[in-house]
Structures are given as C-alpha cells and as structure tokens.
C-alpha cells in the first residue's frame, strides 16, 4: 500500500524548478485554485495539496543562502 504523502516519480504533472520555494495556482487545471506557496524544506520535491502538481528541484540548482 502506498503512503499518501509519498510522491510518485511516475506522476504526469511534474514541474522542474530552480528554487526550493515555489508558488502554485493550479494553472492548467480547469478553474485553478488559490495561489499558495510551497517550501521543500530539506527535501528536493513537494506536492501541491490542491492540484497534486509535483515540483522537483533541478539537480543543477544551487541553494541560495543568507
């Protein structure tokens, strides 16, 4: 049985990004959804709770630090 928090690499809607903090508004989904900000934290991927879009950090991305 699959864990509901697990992100499947076979998911059709994967977006490769260059930052660990991303915004999602459901664009591409019929009516979209409210814009939310997602933070990957220590992970390299995160899933939107509204539309299930998966954001994956580009392997060549460099973490910005302060």
The three-state secondary structure class of 55 is: strand
Is 30 inside any structural domain?
A: yes
The count of structural domains within the chain is: 1
CATH number of the CATH domain containing 51: 2.60.260.40
Name the percent of the chain lying above pLDDT 70.
74
Question: In the Cβ-directed half-sphere of 55, how many Cα atoms lie within 13 Å?
Answer: 22
**Residue pLDDT, tens place only, 21-36:** 999 999 876 788 999 9
Q: Which domain holds residue 36?
A: 14-57
Is 40 inside any structural domain?
A: yes
Is 29 inside any structural domain?
A: yes
Is 24 inside any structural domain?
A: yes
Predicted TM-score (pTM) of this structure: 0.74
Answer whether 44's CB lies under 8 Å from 21's CB.
no
Answer whether 51's CB lies under 8 Å from 33's CB.
yes
């Amino acid at each position: 049985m699959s864990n509901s928090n697990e992100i499947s690499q076979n998911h059709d809607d994967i977006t490769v990004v260059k930052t660990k903090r991303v915004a999602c508004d459901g664009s591409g989904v019929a009516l979209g959804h409210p814009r939310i900000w997602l933070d990957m934290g220590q992970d390299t991927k995160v899933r939107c709770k509204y539309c299930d879009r998966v954001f994956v950090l580009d392997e060549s991305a460099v973490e910005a630090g302060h």
